[in-house]
Amino acid sequence: ATPPLTPAERNRVALVALYAATSGRLWSTNGYSSANTNWLTDMPCRSDGSDWQHITCDGDDVENVVVDLFWPGDFRGTLPTQLGMLSLASCADGDVCGQLHVDSQKFLTGTIPTQLALIPGLRDIDVSGRSATCGSSLGCAEYLSGTLPTQLALVPTLEKFSIQLNLVSGTIPSE
């Protein structure tokens, strides 16, 4: 029998899936530096600054990770279901951690995976759309759509969920 994945291996699977699902090889930062540094390598995620580009870590491996995907560039695709395999670092109140962000300049399509509700330590999701162009000549082809996953209401650590400028429907659960 195959042994279960360690937390670090699960994080790596989730992050590599994100890279693959969002055209990671095309990520750029408008000429400043490569936005995909250390992705798809054996380089561990480290807190000393040599971590994977756009991933902040706590410790010397991917076991505790804060995902913050705020950068300009070619970020296109879908949010993979494997993101539910992430385990985000816990932290004291007031500290920045537990973030899963895709900023408003990106081009995400598809639905919001229900598996996001499985991420321990998830405090802040931002999958806001890129602009208010739906209905214009640009159309609505590059937006998240579908029904808001009700499972997100069951995440005890979730404090903030930003989804504006998308085509997601449904009711935001009260609890």
pLDDT tens, residue by residue, 88-147: 877 766 666 778 876 545 577 889 999 999 988 888 888 877 655 555 544 555 778 889
Number of Cα atoms under 13 Å in the Cβ half of residue 146: 14
Contacts of 29 (CB under 8 A, 6+ apart): 35, 71, 72, 73
* φ, ψ (nearest 5 deg) of residue 96: -90, 115
What are the tens digits of pLDDT across the range 31-84? 545 556 677 877 766 666 556 767 777 665 544 454 545 444 566 788 899 999
* φ, ψ (nearest 5 deg) of residue 160: -145, 135
Q: Please report the pLDDT score of residue 47 as a whole number.
A: 61
* φ, ψ (nearest 5 deg) of residue 8: -65, -40
Element (H, E) at 17: helix 7-21
Q: Is 135 exposed, middle or buried (0-12, 13-18, 19+ CB in 10 A)?
A: exposed
Q: How far is CA 89 from the centre of its chain?
A: 14
Task: Report the predicted TM-score, pTM, of the whole model to 2 decimal places.
Answer: 0.80
Q: Please report the pLDDT score of residue 94 as a whole number.
A: 64
